[in-house]
Amino acid sequence: MERVLVAGISGSGKTTMARAVAERCGLPRYELDALHHGPGWVKRPEFEAEVEEFSRGPRWVTEAQYSSLGDLLWSRADTVIWLDLPRRTVMARVVRRSLWRALTRRELWNGNRERWRDWLGPEHPIRWAWSGHARKRLSVAERVRRHPHLTVVRLRTAGEAAAWRRSLRPPVPRD
């Protein structure tokens, strides 16, 4: 596990899993949302080039998202951790997360904050998770089929994901 993609719909726990994998496996972590979103939620023009650059490296963990990247990360990864959680679990998480973000006004990336009025937009994580849940499952399954070189860890419940995270062991120091 040297080049790891964490796949799943919004609210499935991609960030939490990527953090755990990075910490326990000693991998550098690249958060695609932070690379993608500039101030005002505008896409940063250097996004694809930055992803191209880090993904050439020998070791990394990141989330599988952003269609503009095509299969770049999928073709370079050696492992996919697929968080294929039930819709009810995902929805409870994404609503709770969005509520917390809107209440606290916590900065997310590059000065951006989630606001109440954002909840009405078609790309808000709540709407995205609801409408895209089945589509995302099919999309990940298709990408897994197209990339048979990948080791796939498919986790179907929050309990499975938590147990798998806990099972990760720190890397053995290299001589």
Q: What is the pLDDT along the chain (175 residues), one digit of tens a residue?
A: 999 999 998 889 999 999 999 999 999 999 999 999 988 888 999 999 999 999 999 999 999 999 889 999 999 999 999 999 999 999 999 889 888 888 888 887 777 788 777 777 767 777 778 788 889 999 999 999 999 999 999 999 999 999 999 999 876 666 5
What distance in Å separates the CA atoms of residue 128 and residue 65, rounded to the nearest whole number?
13
- Domains located in the chain, CATH noted: 3-167 (3.40.50.300)
What distance in Å separates the CA atoms of residue 97 and residue 106, rounded to the nearest whole number?
11
pLDDT at residue number 105? 86
The b/e string for 72-108 (b: 16+ C-beta within 10 A; e otherwise) is ebbebbebbbbbbbeeebbbebbbebbeebbeeeeee
pLDDT at residue number 45? 95
pLDDT at residue number 31? 95
pLDDT at residue number 88? 95
